[in-house]
């Protein structure tokens, strides 16, 4: 169980780091947007709002996972729920990427990789939990 807890905490660092993106200047966001091949970032309040609020949401997700990992036995039911919802999230990412017209390599990696990753964690947890 300790290995899974450590693994989850290491994994939680990535979404928690999105808190930094929430405070990036829009010019920096634009340079990153262009560097990953998506062209100039669209301008407007809704774009900034969505970029910052999505980053904060990912950070919240990481903090929640960090907390749940602190006691997987105590939060067993919450963790199972979290994993199931995360599978739905992975499917949502895939279909959102597809409908948004993101590059195919992005679409084929983001949602499916999150889904496979969550599926592997589900199997690992099932083997460990009473």
Residues 62 and 96 occupy one common structural domain = no
Contact (Cβ atoms closer than 8 angstroms) between residue 97 and residue 111: yes
Domain extent for 18: 1-70
Query: Helix/strand/coil (H, E, C) string of the chain?
Result: CHHHHHHHHHHHHHHHCHHHHCCCCHHHHHHHHHHCCCCCCCCCHHHHHHHHHHHHHHHHHHHHHHHHHCCCCCCHHHHHHHHHHHHHHHHHHHHHHHHHCCCHHHHHHHHHHHHHHHHHHHHHHHHHCC
Asked if pLDDT for residue 107 goes beyond 70, the answer is yes
Residues 78 and 58 occupy one common structural domain = no
Report the chain's mean pLDDT, rounded to a whole number. 94
Residues 92 and 45 occupy one common structural domain = no
Residues 114 and 97 occupy one common structural domain = yes
Please name the residues in contact with 127: beta carbons below 8 A apart, sequence gap of 6 or more.
none
User: What pLDDT does 24 receive?
Assistant: 96
Written as six digits, the tokens of 104 are 């195919």
Please name the residues in contact with 125: beta carbons below 8 A apart, sequence gap of 6 or more.
4, 72, 79, 80, 83
User: What is the Cα–Cα distance from 42 to 80, expressed in whole angstroms?
Assistant: 38
Boundary-marking domain end, from 46, 70, 94: 70
Residues 76 and 104 occupy one common structural domain = yes
Residues 8 and 54 occupy one common structural domain = yes
User: What is the Cα–Cα distance from 109 to 107, expressed in whole angstroms?
Assistant: 6
How many structural domains is the chain composed of?
2
Boundary-marking domain end, from 26, 45, 70: 70
| 31-51 residue pLDDT tens | 999 998 899 999 999 999 999
Band (pLDDT 50/70/90 cuts) for residue 127 is confident
Residues 82 and 44 occupy one common structural domain = no
Residues 28 and 54 occupy one common structural domain = yes
Boundary-marking domain end, from 30, 52, 70: 70
Per cent of the chain over pLDDT 90 is: 88
């Amino acid at each position: 169980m300790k290995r899974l807890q450590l693994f989850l905490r290491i994994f939680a660092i990535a979404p928690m780091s999105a808190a930094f993106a929430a405070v990036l200047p829009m010019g920096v966001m634009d340079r990153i947007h262009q560097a990953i091949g998506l062209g100039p970032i669209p301008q407007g309040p809704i774009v900034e709002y969505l970029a910052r609020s999505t980053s904060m949401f990912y950070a919240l997700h990481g903090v929640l996972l960090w907390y749940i990992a602190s006691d997987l036995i105590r939060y067993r039911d919450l963790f199972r729920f979290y994993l199931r919802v995360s599978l739905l999230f992975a499917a949502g990412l895939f279909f959102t990427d597809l409908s948004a017209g993101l590059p195919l390599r992005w679409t084929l990696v983001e949602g499916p990789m999150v889904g496979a990753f969550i599926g592997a964690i589900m199997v690992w947890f099932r083997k460990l939990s009473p």
